[in-house]
Amino acid sequence: MRGWLALAGLSLWAQGVSLPADPDGFGVALKEALERFKRPDITQRAQAFFSAWETGDLSGPEKKALADLGSRLYKKGFKPFPDILQFIEAALVLKNPETRVRAPVPQFVALSETLFQESPTALPRFWETILRFCPEGVVNKTSVFTWRIDRSEGRLGLYAYIDSATFEEKRVPTFFFRRTNLICTTGGVDITIREADGFLNLTTRQFVGTKGKADWSRLGIGFSELYCELDSFVVDMNRRWLYSPRATLHYGSFLPHPVQGEFWDDFTMASDPLKAQSPSFRMTQGTIEIKEFIPNTTYRGGFALRGLTKYGSAVGDTLAELSVYARGKEVMRVYLEKLAFDPKKLVANEVSVELYLPFGDTLFYPVTDLIYDVTTQDILLNRNRKNPRTRQGFYSTYHKMEMLFDAIQWNPVRDTVMRFTAIIDPRGKYGIVQSIDYFNQREYESYKDILPVNPIGAIYRLLQEREKQQKPRRRRAIRTYILDTDILKSQGVDLKTYLKPFQMRLEDVETYGFLRYDPETGIVEPLPKLLRWAQAAFGQKDYDALRIFSNTADGENARLDLQNKEITLRGVEAVVFADSHIVEIAPYKRTIYLRENRSMRMAGRLAAGKLDLYSWPDTRMQFDYENFKVLFFNVDSLKFRPERDPLFREGKFPRVARSLSTLRIENVSGCVYIDLPSNKSGRKVIPYYSVLDCYSESYKYWESSAIQNNQYTRDRLYFELDPF
């Protein structure tokens, strides 16, 4: 193209046309050169240019500088039209007092000179941009929006930057502004970034700001009440977009002090301001405390705005906290990533919740959904079964049980009980309660899936290896997190083959509360449950098999009495204490009562080895977890079950078997020793367990309509048995 320009210049030069460097000769020569095109539009522009050139809009030094550079441009192949004409017209526009955006002509000439030396091909576009932008300050105009810069004195210059692709320094022509207004007109409304300092890149139509103010006035809030001070920002005027990584939010009517964060805006207009999603702000450093933003609450954490909707948010790795109070005491603390500040109802998904009960116990729910009614103070923790992250149950520090129900319902002001329900999901109205020391070998093996190693066991082995490598005096400094790749390497597993399946397995195992896993960084943080299960699997600690299923027709699985601390668990078919010793209970009316440290009271049929104990309706049986025994007091009857004895199952001693099966001993008190307290798992085979110890007198009666028509009443005939 440059060769073509040179040929065109030589053609005119051959016709005797030249552009001298002196101002008077330059003006006349350029006018004559333009008129030779014999086009009305060019002739009209030539006359307008010459009139302005002669009438003194430009000063003598300015005309001299323009003529000198214009002459040299012409000699280098730039044509009188459109190149040289645009060059002079751009200078005249900048000088015109009616122009919305102006700059000193010497700056314009100096910038053109620099581009002439460094990048001459950029000059025509630069002049064209000046001509389009400066008269009205319009940067970009489409059918949807218009970007313009308010009247202001600007400074033309070059902005230098390092190209990220070539790592070379590049310079672009820019307009530098101080305290100007950036206005986006859309939907008949002007959205303004006020008092902006920065520069407009004349080649990309992006404004790079160092200072400015954005507000929410288009949503009906006054500028002084809610606004953001932008410390650095970029406005893409090819579309509607602004982003500021460093901004200060001022919201005096809601926040106790200004906060630091990031701001962005897409300059859209919402038909309903309450549903608007922009402008937006999010805290990125520090925390705030907001008391009573709704009654009986205190919030600590980050803050975010989406339109007019206020949110609590985490800041970095620090979760936000919301404390809820009743009668002056904290009853709930919520740890969350995001929370909508609704004055009527608080709704949050995938939050961690601690419930503080009146008797000092804490219920901890690692992952749940929360609904809190501000007016009534009703609390609903809801497990979404479609979300695998909510597979984890909640923990009771008093009962030392992990409980998995669909929902917890509680009103800390009105209720004396807390309800554990499944009514949220009508398709499956079941719940599970299990000991924190529960372990099942089959479940443990299922976490391995198709992998050559079990993730739980592999993580634990690596932790043990690292602990051995630590010097004794530094054991407290052992890292509590490891990398997913390190786990496989420690087991000699090929990363190319198994890394992806292993990562997917870690994400699944995480949902059961064994660990925390970040797929992006590969960091694995083992949790106490993983250590307990791994130690149980490797025989390093005892465990139990205490898992209770609840299935009810009405969906209410359990109630926690906040006065006596008991959990009434309904819909229980059986509770197995030790399957190897056949110790289990079928509760009366399918109900048991959970107490401190996994102890229970109950009524029903207790199977204990080769006999059954019956007691109802009163709950005269108690399970003592610590000593691993069942106490019973004056139970209704004791019956033998010879069919559970291999000797009788083989058909030997049939008469003895029949006699034992019909024998009924009543008013029995004592206990059943299930196993050694240190062998709750039953891993060590101790044949003589379970053991029945009757430590009071008991009785055999013959009162029955089948025996002599009830002739032998209890007061006339009975047999008293000594303790046995």
CB atoms closer than 10 angstroms to residue 189:
12
Residues 132, 153 within the same domain: no
Residues 123, 23 within the same domain: yes
| Alpha carbon separation from 718 to 423, 699, 708 (Å, rounded) | 51, 7, 15
| Cβ–Cβ under 8 Å, residues 640 and 660 | yes
What's the pLDDT score for residue 171?
82
| Residue 58 within any structural domain of the chain | yes
Please give the Cα distance from 420 to 418 (Å, whole number).
7
pLDDT, average across residues 264-277: 91
CA 616 to mean position of chain CA atoms: 50
| Cβ–Cβ under 8 Å, residues 327 and 303 | no
Q: In three state form, how does the secondary structure of 634-685 look?
A: EECEEEECHHHCHHHHCCCCHHHHHHHHHCEEECEEEEEECCCCCCCCCCCC
pLDDT, average across residues 688-708: 87
**Which of 242, 263, 283 is at the close of a domain?**
283
Residues 228, 299 within the same domain: no
Residues 396, 521 within the same domain: no
Residues 192, 254 within the same domain: yes
Going by pLDDT thresholds of 50, 70 and 90, the confidence category of residue 211 is very high
CA atoms within 13 A on the CB side of 199: 16
What's the pLDDT score for residue 196?
95
| Residue 360 within any structural domain of the chain | yes
pLDDT, average across residues 273-302: 90
| Residue 75 within any structural domain of the chain | yes
Tokens read off for 21 = 């460097």
What's the pLDDT score for residue 133?
85
Residues 603, 717 within the same domain: yes
Residues 37, 125 within the same domain: yes
What's the pLDDT score for residue 405?
86
Going by pLDDT thresholds of 50, 70 and 90, the confidence category of residue 559 is very high
Q: What are phi and psi of 78, to 5 degrees?
A: -75, 135
pLDDT, average across residues 654-669: 85
| Residue 565 within any structural domain of the chain | no
Residues 610, 703 within the same domain: yes
What's the pLDDT score for residue 471?
58
pLDDT, average across residues 579-598: 94
Q: What is the pTM of this model?
A: 0.71
Residues 398, 468 within the same domain: no
Going by pLDDT thresholds of 50, 70 and 90, the confidence category of residue 10 is very low
Residue 523: is its pLDDT beyond 60?
A: yes
What's the pLDDT score for residue 594?
96
Please give the Cα distance from 313 to 613 (Å, whole number).
56
| Cβ–Cβ under 8 Å, residues 77 and 9 | yes
Q: Tokens 């004895």 sit at which residue?
A: 645
Residues 117, 242 within the same domain: no
Residues 78, 183 within the same domain: no
Percent of the chain clearing pLDDT 70 (strictly above): 95
Question: In this predicted model, which residue has the larger pLDDT, 573 or 100?
Answer: 573
| Cβ–Cβ under 8 Å, residues 364 and 373 | no
Tokens read off for 642 = 């010879």
Residue 14: is its pLDDT beyond 80?
A: no
Please give the Cα distance from 679 to 551 (Å, whole number).
30
Query: Residue 274 is part of a domain; what is its CATH number?
Result: 2.60.450
What's the pLDDT score for residue 555?
83
| Cβ–Cβ under 8 Å, residues 341 and 288 | no
Question: What's the domain count of the chain?
Answer: 5
Query: Residue 507 is part of a domain; what is its CATH number?
Result: 1.10.10
CA 581 to mean position of chain CA atoms: 47
pLDDT, average across residues 147-156: 82
Cis before residue 120, ω within 30 degrees of 0? no
CA atoms within 13 A on the CB side of 301: 28
| Residue 111 within any structural domain of the chain | yes
| Residue 559 within any structural domain of the chain | no
| Residue 204 within any structural domain of the chain | yes
Residue 360: is its pLDDT beyond 60?
A: yes
Question: In this predicted model, which residue has the larger pLDDT, 576 or 660?
Answer: 576
**Which of 136, 158, 190 is at the close of a domain?**
136
Going by pLDDT thresholds of 50, 70 and 90, the confidence category of residue 8 is very low
pLDDT, average across residues 396-417: 90
Residue 621: is its pLDDT beyond 80?
A: yes
Query: For the residues of 306-345, what is the DSSP string, one character each?
Result: ETTEEEEE-BTTBPEEEEEEETTEEEEEEEESEEE--SSE
Average pLDDT over the chain, rounded to whole? 87
pLDDT tens-digit series, residues 173-192: 888 999 999 999 998 899 99
| Residue 470 within any structural domain of the chain | yes
What's the pLDDT score for residue 472?
55
Residues 606, 515 within the same domain: no
Residue 656: is its pLDDT beyond 90?
A: no
Domain that holds residue 222: 141-283
**Which of 417, 435, 453 is at the close of a domain?**
435
Most confident of 98-102, 289-293, 450-454, 714-718: 450-454
CA 161 to mean position of chain CA atoms: 36
pLDDT, average across residues 276-294: 90
pLDDT tens-digit series, residues 297-349: 999 999 999 999 888 888 887 889 999 999 889 999 999 888 888 777 788 88
CA atoms within 13 A on the CB side of 109: 20
Backbone Cα Rg of the chain: 42
